[in-house]
Amino acid sequence: MKADAVRGHLDGLLLAVLEPGPLHGYAIIAAVQRRSGGALELRTGTIYPALNRLERLGLLSSSWQSSGERRRRCYELTDAGRATLAGERAAWAEFTAAIGSVLNPGAAPGLAT
């Protein structure tokens, strides 16, 4: 999949994989890859700036957690993050319906071709 396919949707992807509970950065990358069936491979240089930005916006909170001798920053959704995720999902549904009606005009019932 093209790398720029994620552009504009990264925030929604990150919020969605954090919905079930807190994760650290590499686990977030793995969750996106797993949930996309391997089609999406995010890089650390992409997600950490986005996670920091989402935290500054109040959509995520983070805390340091220890795993053996290693400390990891774990991120989780705030209430504002959950509300934003709901908005991202609604916007995505509207976007895909509009694009789908153009690319596959016969597939959508009630739409003229």
Name the band, by pLDDT with cuts 50, 70 and 90, for residue 110.
low
Name the band, by pLDDT with cuts 50, 70 and 90, for residue 24.
very high
**Looking at the domain assignment, is residue 105 inside a domain?**
no
**Looking at the domain assignment, is residue 29 inside a domain?**
yes
Supply the CATH number for residue 84's domain.
1.10.10.10
**Looking at the domain assignment, is residue 33 inside a domain?**
yes
C-alpha dist (Å) from residue 68 to 28, 31, 64, 72, 98: 20, 22, 13, 10, 49
**Looking at the domain assignment, is residue 109 inside a domain?**
no
**Looking at the domain assignment, is residue 92 inside a domain?**
yes
Domain tally, the chain: 1
Whole-angstrom distance, CA of residue 59 vs CA of residue 67: 25
Structural domain boundaries enclosing 13:
3-100
